[in-house]
Structure 1
Amino acid sequence: MSAAFVTGGLSVWLWTQSSANWRAHQSAAYVAGVTLYDALQNGTAPPTGVTINPLPPAGQSLAALGQFRQIEGAASSSRITVIPISADITPQRAGAPLTLVIVSPDITYSVADLPNRDGQTAAETTGAVTRKFASFCSDPIVLGKMGDQPWVRIDGPSVWGCAASPSDWRLPAIILAVLTMGGLITVALNLPTDFTSFAHQLRNRRRVGGPSQYDATGPQELREIVTAVNTYLEVERDQLASRAAVLSGVSHDLGTPATRLRLRTALIPDACLRQKFENDIDAMTGIIESVLTYTNAEMNSEAPRRLSLTSLVDAIVADYQDVGRPVMLEQGKDVIVQGGRSIFMSRQGQGVVPPEQDIIVVARPVSLQRAITNLIENALKYGRRAHVLLHATAETATIVIEDEGTQTSAREIEALMDPFQRGDNTSTIEGHGLGLTIVATIAKLHGGSLAFEDSSRGVAARLEIQRN
């Protein structure tokens, strides 16, 4: 920003300085023109830098015939501008009219824009003409004729020639100002881009395995936000690590008394009572293992990688079928993909993606396998069969697991996604109320969601994840 202000000030200074130099140059040419008229009319000394010389006889003859291009020093392709200047008429005397002929190699001077006001003298008109000479970079041949006097050649390269023109820095000033404005606009546009980019990274950090901390770059406000976020992430990691350490320690410490309880339970002669003790011990250890699984999912310790979701689902279903479990993989439908518009067609085209095409995703295979397995287990627990369907779009992939014959609605199941929530009809079914919570957490890690909907067979669980 400081550099932009400096360069902006420099461009303004260059513009104003060049404008002032040109105004001074044109003013000097105007004064020279006023003095020149008096010199032509009265025979006084011409202005400094201007010489007045009569044309030779041959030049006089050519000028009288209007053949100005044939005068010595003029090119045959020169452009001729004739400027008649009326004489001043006063009660005391009447002056002679002045005719100026400008033979320029590249410029035809416009006479229409010369100043013409009431009371304007011939000397002022002559000054306006010489000021116009000084406004352009040209070295014209100037011829003059005062009334019936012979033609004269007026040379003033040091007054209105190219060599007398001051350095014009206005074009570099414009370029510098444009570059400065471009830099300011770039900085201004990058400010929200920096914030948006960081927000995007932070939003997707758990899904794509973001860094443990972010580099504090950009404007001061963004650096302070990044520093605060890094502090929060560090505290969050410490809390999750402490929670996992405590749960792991509790699980380890409970292992020894649980083993002793199992040994002592085996000595109970009453088979019914012994079975109740064993069920309670299994429930205690199962709860600890479920909490550890949920905590590990929250800690996001597994790195994502590129994998075939089609192969993963096929392998999970095949494992269930190998042990005789009623799990079926349904054949997906063709996916219709909208194409983009082209310059040749205003209507969007469509494409069909066959269902057998391999679906590639960037995901955490172990976590994703656990989520799919939990949903299949729920479908088998509360229904007779589990039907698995896989379909995808360009952005997302969805695993649909539909049970068969369950009496529970989708709304009731969605209410059980909070930790340790179980339905009224689950008293005879094993579980600890963390399965759906773990699945929902894994779905969020992959930028997706877990939802349920009623179907013709029962209830369908939809596990949606981002493909990239």
Structure 2
Amino acid sequence: MMRAIRLRTLALVWVAIAMVTSALCTAVWFQASKSWATHLANAQNAGLMTYEALRTGQTTYPGITIRPVSEPDAVLAESGKFERISNTPHPAYVTVLSLQGTESGLRLGAVSDVLRYPVADIEADKVPSASAQLAALTRLFATYCSDPVLFARYGDGPWQRIDGSVVWGCDAAPHDLRLIAVLLALIAVGALVTHIGNTTQAFDTFAQAFSNRRFGGPDSYEATGPRELRDIVASLNAFLEAERTQLANRAAVLSSVSHDLGTPATRLRLRTALIQDETLRKKLESDIDSMTGIIESALTYTRTEMNAEAPRKLSLNALVETIVSDYQDVSEPVSLTPQKDVVVQGGRSLFISRPGQSVVAAGRQIIINGRPIALERAITNLIDNALKYGRSARLELETDARTATIIIEDDGSETSAEDIDALIAPFERGENTSYINGHGLGLSIVATIAALHGGSLSFENGRTGLRARITVLRG
């Protein structure tokens, strides 16, 4: 198995790659710019030497040919009909320029199959001499990567055809590598961003998997990515193993104690039954029941913490209806309020300024991913508390796209919502419970079960009494 690389090493590698890529792209860019500037300068120098060749008849710039045109073509050129001269490009776009920087003047006609050249800047005062104007024109030829045919007449001399494609034509232009440099830089940036995204995604994926552990998870986790992430996963796996071992040992001890106390508790009950004093006998039986009840409650709380039950898809409606029916079968004052239609607010769009609404029918099943036995225990604990302290229990279901809530409201409990939050801790009981059986673990078990389902336990003052709310995530 390939050993994972540390983030520090990856960062140094990518910094080095970025620096090398940046230097390479910069070098390619400047080299391409330099080659292009040299090409334009050569075209400009060719224009200067061409002007001197037309004026003096001397040798022109290497690669440029100057030859007189035929008599019919000269007549056409004199009348400005350059597009009709033989061997000119088609379609023909004609650019006519008259340079007056000398006594004799220079008349020019350029025929291109691509465009008419923008010569307005060439005739400006910033280019005063005729030679500089011709040099600017040939530079313009090279700038637009075209292959024009140039016709020129200096003073009273003959019309001549000038072919300089070797100098200012498209084939003479250097390859523009600047686009390649940009593409190379984009590829490097894309690769760096992708790698950063993959690295952070590995952390996000593990964090999401671990945060969903409240719904059940594997005994250990595996992760791909940098070495730091794998070290974190290994440490968490060791922690989970130690936690499982600790909880299992605690449950084993409590279970053993509960089992071992069964025999002496039975003997105590038998011996207590022989006591003639009825008052003393009832007190002893109550103490024995309280002792065994505490052990069983502690064992239930520990098993709940162990998160042993596997979650599955279930109908919350059916679960609550079954629990309510069981209580009603033994004539307990427990009822279920029918569900109400739920109005879901929609979002805005480009075409609708006001948010839309949709209605979820009341009879719709509420499907959640949960632990049915644990949820049943939590609901029955709250119902039992409502019956003990409030004489009756009314249940109601609320839901939205993300959560589901079971509401249990009693009838006139003496404890307020502000006081009961302190009673959620283990073995905490209210001041009015001294005459009611209990061990102070019921609400702790309910809160733990709610947390295992990604939710919470809360209390509020209802219309007739205290209202408990168990909220769980649906997915």
How far does the alpha carbon of each residue in 1:142-163 deviate from its partner, in whole angstroms, 9 at most, with x for none?
1111111111111122111121
Residues 19, 306 of structure 1: alpha-carbon distance in 2 compared, 3 angstrom cutoff: same
% identical aligned pairs: 53
- Report whether the alignment pairs 1:11 with 2:18: no
Q: CA offsets, 1:162-211, max 9 Å, x none? A: 211111122233333334444445556667666555544443321x3244
1:406 match:
413
**1:39 paired residue among 53, 57, 69:** 53
Comparing 185-194 with 428-437, which one deviates more in the overlay? 185-194
* 1:418 alignment partner, one of 416, 425, 448: 425
Answering whether residue 308 of structure 2 is matched by residue 307 of structure 1, we say: no
| Alignment partner, residue 290 of structure 2 | 283
Stretch moving more, 10-19 or 65-74: 10-19
Q: Does 1:166 align with 2:180?
A: no
Does structure 1 conserve the Cα–Cα contact (< 8 Å) formed by 2:460 and 2:466?
Answer: yes
Tell me, which stretches of 5 or more residues in structure 2 are unaligned?
1-13
Q: Which residue of 1 aligns with 2:336?
A: 329
Note closer, same or farther for the CA distance 1:267–1:400 as it changes in structure 2 (3 Å cut). same
Task: Determine the structure 1 residue equivalent to 2:151.
Answer: 143
Q: Residue 397 of structure 1 aligns to a residue in which SS?
A: strand
In 2, Cα distance between the equivalents of 1:40 and 1:298?
A: 101
Measured in 2, the distance between the counterparts of 1:324 and 1:267 equals 35
TM-score by length of 1: 0.89
Q: Does 1:397 align with 2:411?
A: no
The structure 1 residue matched to 2:73, chosen from 59, 77, 84, is 59
- The 1:256/1:100 distance shift into structure 2, 3 A limit, reads farther
Compared CA separation, residues 114 and 328, structure 1 to 2 (3 A): same
Given candidates 79, 84, 91, the residue that maps to 2:98 is: 84
Q: 1:383: how far off?
A: 2.3
Deviations 1:393-432 (A, max 9, x none): 2221111111123322222322211100111222222211
Name 1:105's counterpart in structure 2.
Answer: 113
Question: Matched residues in 1 for 2:184 and 2:72: separation?
Answer: 53
Q: After TM superposition, give the deviation of residue 262 of structure 1 in Å.
A: 3.8
CA contact (8 A) 2:404 2:472 kept: yes
CA 115–22 in structure 1, closer or farther in 2 if over 3 Å, else same:
farther
**2:202, 2:223 within 8 Å by CA — same for their partners in 1?**
no
After superposition, what is the alpha-carbon deviation per residue over 1:205-258, rounded to whole angstroms, capped at 9, x for unaligned? Answer: 21x324444444456665555455444434433332332233233333333443
- Tell me, what secondary structure is at the counterpart of 1:406? coil
Cα deviation 1:23-49 (Å, max 9, x = unaligned): 121122222222211111111111111
Q: Answer yes or no: is the 8 Å Cα contact 1:8–1:176 preserved in 2.
A: no
Kindly provide the CA deviation profile for residues 420-467 of structure 1, in whole angstroms up to 9, marking residues without a partner as x: 011122222221110000001111111211111222322111111111
* CA offsets 1:250-293 (integer angstroms, 9 cap, x no match): 33333344344344444545444343333323222221221121
SS in 2 for 1:204: helix
C-alpha spacing 1:147/1:220, structure 2 compared with 1 (3 Å): farther
Displacement of 1:55 in angstroms is 0.4
1:69-468 matches, within 5 Å, as 69-88=83-102, 96-114=104-122, 121-185=129-193, 198-206=206-214, 208-218=215-225, 225-468=232-475
> Who is 1:91 aligned against?
none
C-alpha distance in 1 between matches for 2:435 and 2:266:
25
Question: For this pair of structures, how many residues does the alignment match?
Answer: 461
Q: Distance in 1 between matches of 2:125 and 2:263?
A: 114
Residue 7 of structure 2 is matched in structure 1 by none
> Where does the alignment leave 5 or more consecutive residues of structure 1 unmatched?
89-93
Moved more, 303-312 or 273-282: 273-282
Distance apart, 1:73 and its partner CA: 1.6
Shift of 1:342: 3.6
Q: After superposition, what is the alpha-carbon deviation per residue over 1:274-329, rounded to whole angstroms, capped at 9, x for unaligned?
A: 43333323222221221121122222222221111000000111111122222111
Residue 142 of structure 1 aligns to a residue whose secondary structure is strand
Q: Deviations over 1:108-146 (max 9, x none)?
A: 111123485668543333222222212222211111111
